[in-house]
Structure 1
Amino acid sequence: MKDVRLTHIGGPTVLIEVHGWRLLTDPTFDAPGRRYDFGWGTSSRKLTGPAITAAELGPIDAVLLTHDHHADNLDDAGRALLPTAGTVITTASGARRLGNARGLTPWDTTRLDEPGRPSIEITATPCRHGPPLSRPVTGDVIGFALRWDGQDHGALWISGDTVLYDGVREVAGRVEVDLALLHLGGVRFPITGPLRYTMTAADAVNLCRQLRPRTVVPVHYEGWQHFHQGRAAVEQAFAAAPDVGALARWLPLGPGTDPC
C-alpha cells in the first residue's frame, strides 16, 4: 500500500504512519510475566514484552481500539497512554466505559481531519469474538476500514479479534481491501476446550479467498499464552494455498517497514 509505514510492536499493537498521521492499534505495552483475568474463568499470561516502549513511541494522533475489556488488546500501560492520544475510537460500549472516546457500532463511520493532511475515513466492521451466542460473554469488538484520498487499490482493513463468520465475510462484499491486518492466533482457553475466539490460519486463508486483498499482514499471533497458532502454523497454511499464499507479508517486531 502506497505511502504506508507499519511498525509491529507486539500482539495486536501496530503503529500505522500515513501522510503525516500516526495511528496506533490496540495498545499493549506491559512487561511480560503477569497473568491477566479475562472473565468467566479464563485467564492468560503475557509471555513477551513490546518491541518499543510507550515512552519511545512518540505522539499518537488516534488510537484504533478494537475493544477495551481484554488485556491482550488494552493492558495497563496501554490504558495509561490513551489520554495522550488525540482521539480514541472504539466500540460504543467501550466508549461509555472509557469516556472521552468516539464509540462506533458496525458500519458506523467517523473521520479524522487535520489541516495539511488528507482526511481519513474510518468505518467500523463487524466482529464476533467467539462462537455463536458468545457476545454477552466476550463483549463487543469491532474492526476498522481506513480510507483516504489517493488509495489506488482499496482500504486498509484491521480485522479485530474475531472468528470467521458471516459478519466478517460481509466485509468482502462491502469494502475493497488493499492491505489487511488480520488478528489470528486461534485463541482458546482450557476451560472452554476446543472453542475458538479468534481466527485460525485456515480461517485466514478462507477469508482471503473471498476478500482478495493485495497484501495480508498477520498480527495477534504471538506473545500470549492463549495464542495457540503462531507464525509457523500461519506460514504452513498459506504455503498450502497457492491461490492466496503469496499475499502474506510478515513484519519484524520493531522498526517500521513499508508493507508494499
Structure 2
Amino acid sequence: MAQLDLNPSARIPLMKIQTHHLEAGPKLPVTKSHTHPRKQKADGEVPENGSVYFIGNATTVIEWHDIRILTDPNFLHAGDHVHLGPGVTAERLKDPIVDMHQLPPLDCILLSHYHEDHFDRKVEESLNRAFPIVTTPHAKKALTSKEDPFQAVYDLDFFQGLVMSAPPASGSRGWKRPAIKVTGMPGKHVPPGPLSTLNDLLGAVPPTNGWVLELGYISEGQMESVGYRIYISGDTLFVDELKEIPKWLRNEKIDLMLVHLGGTTIPGPHTPLFMVTMDGKQGVQLMRLMDPDVTVPIHFDDYSVMLSGLDDFRKEVEAAGFGDRVVYLDRGDEYRFSVRE
C-alpha cells in the first residue's frame, strides 16, 4: 500500500506564489458550526476533533489533528464558465466562500476526476507543481503529461488505498501516529448503456472515483485502528457498481457521507438529454444503500447544468423519514465530528 508522509511543520505551499507565511496562514471563516443531529455529548466522550468545511460545489476542507485535505478545488466565481466536454459548457452561479489564497496550510488535494468544475483553470495555473494530489489514473496521466507537469500525483483505482500519516509528535499515542487511509471507490459519471460505450470510445467525460477516508492511527506502516469513516460519493449516478462498496466495508459503519447531487444534465438546461450526477431521489437511494450515520449534501446548485437542487433532496429525505440523519451546510459552514479513540 502506498504511503504519503505528512509533516505540517514543512508543508509544501499550495500555490506557486505564497502570499503569507505558511504556518501563519489564515483560518477558515466559519459562519456556523454543526454537530451530530441526534446525539448529545456524554461525559467523558471524545470532543469534536475533526471537521468538514464547505467552500462550494464539491470543494471542502477535511481536517483531523494536523492533517488537512482539500477536495475537488474549484475557485471560479459566478459568471465564469467551465468546459465539460465536446460542445458542453456551464456557467458558475454561486461564488465560493473563500478564494485559494485565503486557505490555511494544506497537506494534499483529493481530486475525484479531471473536470473543470472540480479542478478549474485558475487552480491549474496557480497550483504549486510539487503539491501532493491523490486522484484517478486518468487524471494522473492528464496532470503529469503537461508541458509544466505536476510532480506529486498519486493515482488510486477502485479499492486501492493510500495512507497519509502525520509525524509522531502530532497527536501520537505511544508509537502510533494519526493517519487517514484513502481508498478509491467505484463511480460512474455516464449512464450505463450505449452512451457509456460511446463515451468509452470518445473519452468525452472522464472516469471518476468516490472515496472512503478512514481516520485512525498507524503503526509500522499499517492502520492499527480506525475511529471514523467518511464516504465521498464523487460525481456518480446510482449504479450497480456502488453495491460493491458495502461488500468491501464488511459491515463496518460509514459515519459520514458527503453526497454529490445536482442532477447535472448534459448538454445543458435547455436540452437536457441525460443526467450525469445524482438527483434528490438517487441521493436518498444512496443513503439507503450506504446507511451512513450522517449525510451532508454538496455539489447541488453551483452550475447552470444542475437541474436538481437542494430542495429536491430535502423533499426526498423528508418523505423517507431521514430528516434527522442529514446536516445541511451553507457555504462557510462546518460539520464537526468526533473520531473515536
Q: Which residue of 2 aligns with 1:137?
A: 204
Cα distance, 1:21–1:47 mapped onto 2, change above 3 Å: same
1:54 correspondence with 2:128: no
- Whole-angstrom distance in 2 between the partners of 1:42 and 1:204: 24
Q: Which has the larger radius of gyration?
A: 2
Question: Of 285, 291, 295, which aligns to 1:212?
Answer: 291
Q: Which residue of 2 aligns with 1:232?
A: 311
Q: Which residue of 1 aligns with 2:213?
A: 146
1:106 is paired with a residue whose SS is coil
1:195 is paired with a residue whose SS is strand
1:187 is paired with a residue whose SS is strand
How many residue pairs end up in the alignment? 257
Letter in 1 for 2:309: G
Q: Which residue of 1 aligns with 2:188?
A: 128
Q: CA deviation at 1:255?
A: 4.6
1:177 is paired with a residue whose SS is coil
Q: Which residue of 2 aligns with 1:195?
A: 274
Q: CA deviation at 1:206?
A: 1.1
Question: Of 248, 254, 266, which aligns to 1:174?
Answer: 248
Aligned partners of 1:185 and 1:228 also within 8 Å: yes
Bigger mean CA deviation after superposition, 130-139 or 46-55: 130-139
1:69-124 Cα deviation digits (max 9, x unpaired)? x2111112222454277420001111121122101111111111221341211100
Letter in 1 for 2:264: V
Question: Of 55, 60, 72, which aligns to 1:26?
Answer: 72
Bigger mean CA deviation after superposition, 226-235 or 135-144: 135-144
Structure 2: gaps of 5 or more residues = 1-35, 37-47, 145-150, 171-177, 217-224
Q: CA deviation at 1:12?
A: 0.3
TM superposition score normalised by structure 2: 0.71
Q: Which residue of 1 aligns with 2:56?
A: 10
| Counterparts of residues 84-163 of structure 1 (less than 5 Å) | 86-99=131-144, 100=151, 101-116=153-168, 117=170, 118-132=178-192, 133=196, 134-135=199-200, 136-149=203-216, 151-152=226-227, 154-163=228-237
Letter in 2 for 1:123: T
Q: CA deviation at 1:247?
A: 1.4
1:177-225 Cα deviation digits (max 9, x unpaired)? 1100001101102466341100111111111112110000100002110
- Whole-angstrom distance in 2 between the partners of 1:227 and 1:166: 23
Cα distance, 1:85–1:53 mapped onto 2, change above 3 Å: farther
1:120 is paired with a residue whose SS is strand
Q: CA deviation at 1:248?
A: 1.1
Aligned partners of 1:6 and 1:258 also within 8 Å: yes
Q: Which residue of 2 aligns with 1:254?
A: 332
Aligned partners of 1:27 and 1:79 also within 8 Å: no
TM superposition score normalised by structure 1: 0.91
1:223 correspondence with 2:302: yes
Aligned partners of 1:186 and 1:199 also within 8 Å: yes
Q: CA deviation at 1:40?
A: 2.2
- Whole-angstrom distance in 2 between the partners of 1:143 and 1:92: 13
- Whole-angstrom distance in 2 between the partners of 1:64 and 1:51: 19
- Whole-angstrom distance in 2 between the partners of 1:158 and 1:5: 14
Structure 1: gaps of 5 or more residues = none
Aligned partners of 1:63 and 1:85 also within 8 Å: no
Cα distance, 1:180–1:103 mapped onto 2, change above 3 Å: same
1:239-258 Cα deviation digits (max 9, x unpaired)? 1001x332111112115341
Q: Which residue of 2 aligns with 1:183?
A: 260
Identity of aligned residues (%): 28
Q: CA deviation at 1:20?
A: 1.4
